[in-house]
Structure 1
Amino acid sequence: MRRYAELWRLPSAPLLIVAGIVGRLPAGIAPLAILLFLADRTGSYGVGGIAVGVYGLATAAVAPLLGRFADRRGFTAVLIGTGVGYPLAVAVLVVTALSDAPVLALYLAAGLAGTVVPLLNSTLRAIWTDLSGSDSTRQTAFALDAIALELVWMIGPVLVATFVAFTSATWGPVIALTGAGVAALIGSLAVAASRPSRRWRPRPTEPGTVRRTPLRARGMVPALVVAFALLFGTGAIEAAVAGFADAHGTPALSGVLLAVWSVGSAIGGLWFGAQRFAVPIVRQYRWTLAACAVGFAPLAFLGNAWLIGLVLFLGGTAFAPAITVQNSLVAELAPRGSLTESFTWLSTITYAAVASGTAIGGLLVDRPGGVTAALLLAALAAAIAWAVAAMPALYPRKVTT
C-alpha cells in the first residue's frame, strides 16, 4: 500500500479523491435510475433503455467540446457550469416523466440532462497526470481513479435498489436522481475550488507547430474502438441484469448484482495499482481485456442469481485493471496541448458505449430470451475489444515496446 500512501500525500489528493467520488455518483445512479423510472412510467424497458442511450449519447456529443475549451481556458468555468446545470436538467427530466409527457419529450429531457454531465473524468485524469511525477505513480493514480469509479458504480446501483425497495419503482428512482444532482453539484464545485484545478495550465505546443486533434494521433482511434467495444458490453450487461431481476420479481436485485461486480473490480484495481510492470502498455491492455472477455462469456448460460453474482465478482477483478491501462494508454498517445481533450474523447466513448449497450440491451430484454441475448452480445463485444488490442501494428512503437 506504499504507492497509495505516496499518492495520498500529493497536493490536495484527499480532496480530489473524495470530491471525485461524490461528483461522479451520477455515473452509477443515473443509467439504472432512468432505466427503472421510465420503464415503470411507460411499461417498456425499451423506452427506458433508449432514454439512457440518448442521455449517454448527448454527453458523448458535448464532452469533446467542453474538453477542448478546458484545454485552452482551464477547468473552473466548465466544472461550475456543468455542476450547476446538471441538477436543474435532472429536475426537468423527473417532472417531464411524472407528468406523463409523450415519449419524445422523455427522450429530449434525457438528452438535456446528458449534455450537462459534469466533466470530472477528464478533469481529474488530466490533474493526476500533472501531479504524478513518474510512470509508476501515474499508474497508481489511474488505478485509484478506476477504483473510485468502481465505488461509484457499486454505490450508485445499491442506492437505487435501496430506494426502490423501501419506496416504489416510481419514487425510488426519483429520490436517487435527486441525490445524483446534488452530488454532481457538490463534487464539481469542490474540484473546481481545489488548488491543482485552479493552478492547472494547458501544456503549450512546441514552437512552430499546430495544435493537433487527438483523433489524428496514431493509435488513438484504435484505442477508442477498443474502449467502445468493452464498455458497450458493460451497458448490455446492465440492461440484462435489470431484466433478469425484474423477471424474478425482485427489481432491487439488479443493483445488488451490479454492486457485486464493482466490488470485484475494485479489488482487482487495488491490487493492480500497487504493482509495477515492465511490460508494454498495449500488452498489458491485451491481457486485461482477455480476462474481461473470459469473465463475460459464462454469464449467458447461468440462470441462478447466486451464480451470476459469483461470476460477476470474479470477472470484475479484471475490469478496473483494464480501465487503468486504458487511461495510461490514452495519456501516452495524447498530442501535446490536448491532454484534457484526449481524456474527454475517452469519456465520450465511455458514455456512448455504455448508453448504446444499455439501449440495445434494453430492446433485447423486452423480447423472449432477451436476457440471454444481451449477455451473449456483451461477451461478443469484449472479444472484439481483445481482438483489436491484439494488433500492435495499429499503435506507435513507444507503447508496444
Structure 2
Amino acid sequence: MRAYLSVWRLPSAPVLLVAGFAGRLPSAMVPLALLLMVQQQTGSYALAGLASATYGLAMASMAPVLGRLADRRTPRPVLLAQAAAHPLLLAVLVAVVLGGAPTVAVVAASAAAGAATPLVSGTVRALWSRVDPAVRPTAFALDATATELVFVAGPTAVAALTVLAGPAWAVGLAGGLAVLGAVGVATSRALRGWTPVVPAERTSPLATVLAPGMPRVLVSGSALMLGFGALEVAIPAFADEAGSPGLSGVLLALWSLGSVAGGLWFGARVVSVSLPRQYRWLLLGVTIGLAPLAAASDPWVLGALLFLGGTAIAPTLTVQNSLVGALAPAHATTEAFTWLSTVATGASAVGAALGGGLIEGRAGVSGSLLLAVAGAAVAVAVTLVPGRRRVARPAGEPVAV
C-alpha cells in the first residue's frame, strides 16, 4: 500500500490517474456504441461493423503521427485541439447516422472522429516514464490496472445507456469524457514542466519503431494482442454454445478483474530482475494461464480459469510499458507509446477476425482459444531472439535488451 501512496503523492498524480481514466473511456465506448447505433438505424451488421472498424483503424493509424507532433511541440496544444475537435466530430457522426446518410458519409464521419481521438493514453504513459525510477514500476502498474478497468466500465456504461436512452447518448457521454480527460491532462502540473527534446539530426518517420530493442517489444506485443483478440471473440461464442449468451459479459469481466488483481499485487512488489527478463517470464505466465482454456466445458469453469489466467496480464503490460519508456528515444517518448497502442489495436483486430473464422469453421471455439495460446507463445519466442545487449538512455538509465 505504501508503494501506491508514494505514487499518489507525486505532483499531478491524482489528476493523471483520474483524467487519464476518463480520457481513455471513449476508446472503449465509442466503437461499441457506434456499432449498436448504426445497426439499430440501418439494420445492417455489415455497415455497423465497417463503421466501428473504420473508427478504430483511424484512431490507431493517426496516433503515431500526432504523437510525433506532440513530442516536437509538447502534448498540450495537441490535446487541447483534440478536446475541441473530437466532440464536434462525434456530434457530426451521430447526426450522419441518425439522419440516414449514405454509407460513404457514415464511413467518412467515423474516420474523422476516430482520427481526432485525444492522445490521453500515450501522453499519460510518457509522463509516467519521467517520474522517479523508484516509483515508476508502481506508476505503470496503476496505469495498466486503470486500462483494464476502462474495458470493464466502458462497455458496461454503453450497455446501460443503450437500454435506458439509446446508443447515441453513449457516444455523447464519451465525447464529454474525452474533453474532461484531454483538458485535465493538458492543464496538469506535470505537463507544464514538459520540455521538448530536439533530436540531434533529422529522423525518419520509422526511427522510433526501429530504435534498439523496440522492434522486439512491438512484435511480441502484437503477437500477444492477436491472441487476446481471438480470445475476446471466443468467449462470447463459448457462452452462446453453452446456452448462456448472457454470461459473455460476466466472463469478460472476470478476465479483466483477474488482470486488475494481478496488476495491483505486482505494482506493490520490488523486483530486482531486469525488465527484459521480467517481460519474458510474464509472457510465459500468460501463455500458461491461457493453455487450460481450450479444455473448459462449463462457463463457470471457464470464468475461474479466465480470472486466474488474467492475473498475469496487467503485470505483463506494466513491464511492457516500462520497457517502451526506457527504450524510446528521449525526443520521441509519446510517439513510442502511441506506436505500442497502434500495433496492439491492429493486432487485436486481426486476432478477432482470425478467431471468428476459426469459430465458423471446423476448428470451432477451441480453435480460437488455441490461437490465443499460440499468440502468447509466439510473443515469448520473439523475446528470445538475440539482439543488441545494451542500450542507454540519455538520462543514464541503462536497460538490458
| Cα displacement string for residues 314-354 of structure 1 (whole angstroms, at most 9, x for unaligned residues) | 11111111111111111111112111111121122222223
Say whether residues 1:319 and 2:318 are aligned partners: no
Q: Distance in 1 between matches of 2:261 and 2:289?
A: 15
Q: Is the 8 A contact 1:57 1:355 kept in 2?
A: no
- Aligned equivalents of 2:278 and 2:100: distance in 1? 49
Moved more, 189-198 or 354-363: 354-363
SS in 2 for 1:122: helix
| Correspondence for 1:335 among 305, 329, 334 | 329
The alignment partner of 2:126 has SS state of helix
Q: What does residue 153 of structure 1 align with?
A: 151
User: What is the identity, as a one-letter code, of the residue corresponding to 2:235?
Assistant: V
Q: Which residue of 1 aligns with 2:394?
A: none
- Give unmatched runs, 5+ long, in structure 2: 392-397
Structure 1 residue 72 corresponds to structure 2 residue 66: no
Q: 1:183 aligns with which of 177, 184, 190?
A: 177
Give 3-state SS (helix, strand or coil) of 2:282's partner: helix
Relative distance call for 1:305 and 1:161 in structure 2 (3 A) is farther
- What's the offset of the Cα at 1:147? 1.0
Alignment TM-score, normalising by the size of structure 2: 0.87
Residue 113 of structure 1: how far off its partner (Å): 2.5
Q: Judge conservation of contact 1:54–1:355 (CA < 8 Å) in 2.
A: no
Instruction: Give the Å deviation of 1:139.
Output: 0.8
**Structure 1: where are the runs of 5+ without partners?**
none
Task: Tell me, yes or no, if structure 1 residue 294 matches structure 2 residue 288.
Answer: yes
Give 1:1-400 correspondences, 5 Å limit: 1-38=1-38, 48-99=48-99, 101=101, 103-130=103-130, 132-134=131-133, 136-164=134-162, 166-167=163-164, 172-205=166-199, 209-210=201-202, 213-245=207-239, 253-362=247-356, 371-393=365-387, 396=390, 398-400=398-400
What is the one-letter code of the residue matched to 2:138? T
Change over 3 Å in CA distance of 1:58–1:153 after alignment to 2: same
Q: Does the 8 Å CA contact 1:46/1:359 hold for their aligned counterparts?
A: no
CA separation in 2, counterparts of 1:381 and 1:93? 35
- Amino acid paired to 1:22: A
Contact 2:15 2:185 (8 Å CA) reproduced: yes
For residue 222 of structure 1, report the CA deviation from its aligned partner: 1.5
> Aligned-pair distance for 1:101?
5.0
Residues 394/293 of structure 1: CA separation in 2 closer, same or farther (3 Å cut):
farther
Cα distance in 1 for partners of 2:250, 2:220 equals 28
Q: Percent identity?
A: 48
2:277 aligned counterpart, secondary structure: helix
TM-score by length of structure 1 reads: 0.87
CA distance in 2, matches of 1:295, 1:70: 38
Q: Distance in 1 between matches of 2:41 and 2:376?
A: 32
Which has the higher relative contact order, 1 or 2, with Cα contacts under 8 A spaced 6 or more apart?
1
How far is the alpha carbon of 1:237 from its aligned partner? 2.3
Secondary structure in 1 matching 2:209: helix
Aligned residues between the structures: 393
Q: CA deviation at 1:153?
A: 1.3
Q: Residues 61 and 25 of structure 1: is their aligned pair in 2 closer, same or farther, counting only changes over 3 Å?
A: same
Counterparts of 1:365 and 1:94, CA distance in 2: 33
Tell me which amino acid in the other structure corresponds to 1:77.
P
Using a 3 Å threshold, how does the CA distance of structure 1 residues 251 and 195 change in structure 2: closer, same or farther? farther
CA 1:186–1:367 in 2, change beyond 3 Å: closer, same or farther? Answer: farther
Deviations 1:9-30 (A, max 9, x none): 1111111111111111123323
Provide the rounded CA distance (Å) in 1 between the counterparts of 2:384 and 2:331.
Answer: 29
User: By how many angstroms is 1:97 displaced?
Assistant: 3.9
In structure 2, what is the Cα distance between the partners aligned to 1:296 and 1:253?
A: 19
Higher mean Cα deviation, 374-383 or 191-200? 374-383
CA distance in 2, matches of 1:24, 1:272: 22
